[in-house]
Every structure is written in C-alpha cells, then in structure tokens.
Structure 1
C-alpha cells in the first residue's frame, strides 16, 4: 500500500499538493482576458490616414494617443473665433476617416496648444 501511495503522489494525483484537493487548476500560461493593446504601427497608420485626408496647410501634425483612442490634430491656427470655425471643420473632416478600431475621439489644437474643437464617435464636433 505504501508503494501505491508513493506512485499516486509522484504522478500528481490528489490535487495541488496542499492536501485539500479543492483548488481549481491555474489558467494556462499565456492565457489572458484582456484585449491586446494596439500596435504603434496601427496607430501610426490611422494618424497618416487622417493627415492625408485633411490635406490642409493648417495641419502641422496628427498623432494618435491614449492606447490608440484619440486623434490629436495640431495646427497653425490661432485662438480666435475664426480659428475655432476652421478647427471645427477640420474636426468634422477628420471624423470622416478617423473612427476606426478603438479610436473614439478627435481633438484639434491651436498653435498655442489650446483645444479649439473636439469630437466623439457618432456626434458632431464641438467648438
């Protein structure tokens, strides 16, 4: 009988080794419940798509930030009312191609880094 108990112990029978046998098995190595983070290349492609679509001399750069969820359009626009109207047009135009994957927001900024307009998926851009 001692021999049988030794074989069972060596073969892994009898639970997790703490004697109670009621702990569930750990998840497989590499298993995850979270979605993978988007790659930098995917975010860069989205930024390039938006910049090419805008095709405006007012746009200095387009980046995608925050786990690839927000498009930031930096411009040469000032902070006056005319700039706000132009920024809103840029925001609406960016929205035509920006909302793909996890991207759910757009921010258009002035040359002083003030936000002139912003938008979210399915809504008109706001000044």
Structure 2
C-alpha cells in the first residue's frame, strides 16, 4: 500500500511540475515587434503583365480609388469614388480603360461606384455599356 501512495505522490508531483513548467513557458513567449511608425506595406506587384498598373496610370484620376485585375487576369475592376448615379462618368472611365486594358488575357472592364454598385462594363471588341 505504501508503494502505491508513493507512486501517486510522485505522479502528482510530476504533473504539478510539468504544469508549472508549461505555464512558465507561456510567459516567456516572444514579444510582438512594435509597428514602425510611418511605414506601410508595399503594394503587391501586378502579376498580370502590368494590366492593372497600365489602366490606373492611363486613367490618372483622383476619382479612381483602385484598379484590380481579377480572375485569371481576365477582368479589370476599377473602383471609383463616383455615386451610384454617375453612369456617364463611369462610361468615360470604361472606354478610356479599354484603350489599354485589352492585352494578354484581359477581356473585360468593370467600373464600380464607391458603394460597390456596378456602373459600367465593357468587353473586348465591344463598346462599354452602362449597367442597369
């Protein structure tokens, strides 16, 4: 009986020691490095033959928030600061983008309002159209 109680005591001490040891490891975790003020992450390179950069440079407008190439480099999406009722301006952006966008696999241009609503769309070989 004495051997059994000694084994239980030894087992309890071992478990207690492991628990305390693991708890102590949690306190010694590597600290998170502080953010460096004034820096920002670099934009990922345009991996679609420069189509997005080419369109953004060509449009060169403060009303263009971003230009992204989606799918397998098949669609250029232009996000703007335009309102949902700015179909005429969206058509101008779409037609201007079409002048340089349709290279490689790119075959569509979409212009979005600030709200995310689709304002205009174009496909290679056709005029841009306002969305309904």
Please tell me the TM-score bracket, short chain as reference.
0.5 to 0.7
Tell me the residue number matched to 2:95: 92
CA 1:58–1:41: 2 relative to 1, 3 Å: closer
Moved segments of 4+, more than 4 Å: none
Counterpart of 1:125 (choices 103, 109, 128) is 128
Once the two structures are superposed, residues 59-80 of structure 1 have per-residue CA deviations (whole angstroms, 9 ceiling, x without a partner) of 0000000000000000000011
Q: Equivalences for 1:72-91 in 2 at 5 Å? A: 72-80=77-85, 83-91=86-94
Once the two structures are superposed, residues 14-45 of structure 1 have per-residue CA deviations (whole angstroms, 9 ceiling, x without a partner) of xxxxxxxxxxxxxxxxxxxxxxxxxx744261
Alignment TM-score, normalising by the size of structure 2: 0.63
Contact 2:65 2:81 in 1 (8 A): yes
Question: For the residues of structure 2 that align with 1:62 and 1:54, how far apart are their CA atoms?
Answer: 10
Structure 1: stretches of 5+ with no match in the other structure = 1-39
Matched residue SS, 1:100: coil
- As a proportion of its length, which structure holds more helix? 2
Contact 1:44 1:64 in 2 (8 A): no
Structure 2: stretches of 5+ with no match in the other structure = 1-44
Contact 2:49 2:104 in 1 (8 A): no
Tell me the residue number matched to 2:29: none
Query: Which of 1 and 2 has greater Rg?
Result: 2
Alignment TM-score, normalising by the size of structure 1: 0.65
